[in-house]
Every structure is written in structure tokens, then in C-alpha cells.
Amino acid sequence: MGTPADYTIIVLLVALGVGVWTMFDRVVSMQRDVEAIKRKLDVLDPPGPT
């Protein structure tokens, strides 16, 4: 059996991993939303003839 300090470190590492995973997921979701908005704006305002 480990000491309470060992378990505390493990719990903190798991919590940190969950936090990093959540932030990564939100950044990816935000990038998808931005790309969707860009596509929508491009459809609404097509570029002029070149």
C-alpha cells in the first residue's frame, strides 16, 4: 500500500489529465465552429470575378 501522498499525487495527475483533455476538446470544437462560420460567410458573400 502506498502512502497518502502517493494517492494524492495520482489523483492530482488524473484531475490534470481530465482538465487538459477537456480544454483540448473545447479548442477542437471551437476550431470546427470557426471553420463552419467561414464556410457559411463564403457562401453568403462569394468573391468577385478575377
Please say if the pLDDT value at position 42 is more than 90.
Answer: no
Cell digits of residue 11: 489523483
- 47 pLDDT tier (thresholds 50, 70, 90): low
Q: Tell me the domain boundaries of the chain.
A: 1-43
Q: What is the rounded distance in angstroms from the CA atom of residue 41 to the CA atom of residue 50?
A: 19
Q: What is the rounded distance in angstroms from the CA atom of residue 22 to the CA atom of residue 36?
A: 21
Q: What is the rounded distance in angstroms from the CA atom of residue 33 to the CA atom of residue 9?
A: 36
Query: For every residue of 2-46, which 3-state class applies, written as one string?
Result: CCHHHHHHHHHHHHHHHHHHHHHHHHHHHHHHHHHHHHHHHHHCC
| pTM of the entire predicted model | 0.66
